């Protein structure tokens, strides 16, 4: 892969990308599904522990399996979490900022014969009051942000949305604790009340012998 960056800064994702040799994607298998991943799309590197992680997410989501529930998959990436839940859901709506990852999610849905998913490119740090009009009210929200955690705009949206259940997946315990505190206790300086209760939190050792972990948190509406 040749990644072209014309700016003076150092970046891992440039303006253009060319495949010089071989395929432009790699293929991984998780939870009985096949995923094709582009160079700039996020995917868990420890696939053995990713099996544990996604099984835990599925257990926390607790989908009934009668195809009646709506799932909102925030920071959906290549669709890994949403597609593993789709078999039990009525529909999964996924949002992701990276266009290439969204294209991968569409391709992975087709590759696995899954038709009850919708993946949309969008910056969840820049949502407005119209964001919730693009999908029905979800029964379950999955949120898997990067290390900075969720933007305050998204936290406010979730507190207003009041989905019955949120499964929060985090790779940064500090921002995880901050966001959960907002969801449970509100944002005092902005007079916003919290409306969730933390039911469980389970760390997953994704990178043994390092300080890095993933945490899966289950929050339920009070």
Which residues are identified as catalytic? Answer: 171
Strands 214-221 and 196-204: antiparallel
- Helical segments of the chain, H only: 47-61, 80-86, 99-111, 152-161, 173-185
Give dist(CA 215, CA 205) in Å, integer.
9
What sign for the dihedral angle of Cα 71, 76, 81, 86? positive
Binding-site residues for S-adenosyl-L-methionine, please? 44, 75, 96, 144
Binding-site residues, please? 44, 75, 96, 144
Give the CB-side neighbour count of residue 186, counting CA atoms within 13 A.
Answer: 10
Write the DSSP assignment of 2-39 as a string of letters: EEE--SSS--SS-SEEE--SS-SEEEEEETTEEEEEET
Give dist(CA 144, CA 50) in Å, integer.
13
Token duo for residue 36: 């094709």
Give dist(CA 45, CA 124) in Å, integer.
24
Distance of CA 7 to the CA centre of its chain: 29
Give dist(CA 219, CA 222) in Å, integer.
9
């Amino acid at each position: 892969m040749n990644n072209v960056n014309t700016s003076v800064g150092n970046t891992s994702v440039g303006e253009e990308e060319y495949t010089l040799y071989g395929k432009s994607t790699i293929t991984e298998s998780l939870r009985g599904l096949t995923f094709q991943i582009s160079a700039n799309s996020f995917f868990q590197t420890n696939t053995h522990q990713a099996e544990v992680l996604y099984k835990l997410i599925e257990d926390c989501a607790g989908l009934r399996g009668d195809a009646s529930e709506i799932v909102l998959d925030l920071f959906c990436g290549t669709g890994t979490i949403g597609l593993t839940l789709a078999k039990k859901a009525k529909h999964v709506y996924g949002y992701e900022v990276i266009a290439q990852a969204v294209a991968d999610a569409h391709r992975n849905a087709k590759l696995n014969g899954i038709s009850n998913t919708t993946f949309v490119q969008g910056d969840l740090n820049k949502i407005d009051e119209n964001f919730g009009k693009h999908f029905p009210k979800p029964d379950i929200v999955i949120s898997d942000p990067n290390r900075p955690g969720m933007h305050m705009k998204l936290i406010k949206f979730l507190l207003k949305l009041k989905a019955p259940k949120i499964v929060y997946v985090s790779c940064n315990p500090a921002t995880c604790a901050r966001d959960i505190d907002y969801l449970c206790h509100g944002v005092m300086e902005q007079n916003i009340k919290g409306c969730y209760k933390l039911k469980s939190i389970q760390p997953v050792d994704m990178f043994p012998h390092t300080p890095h972990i993933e945490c899966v948190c289950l929050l339920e509406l009070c």
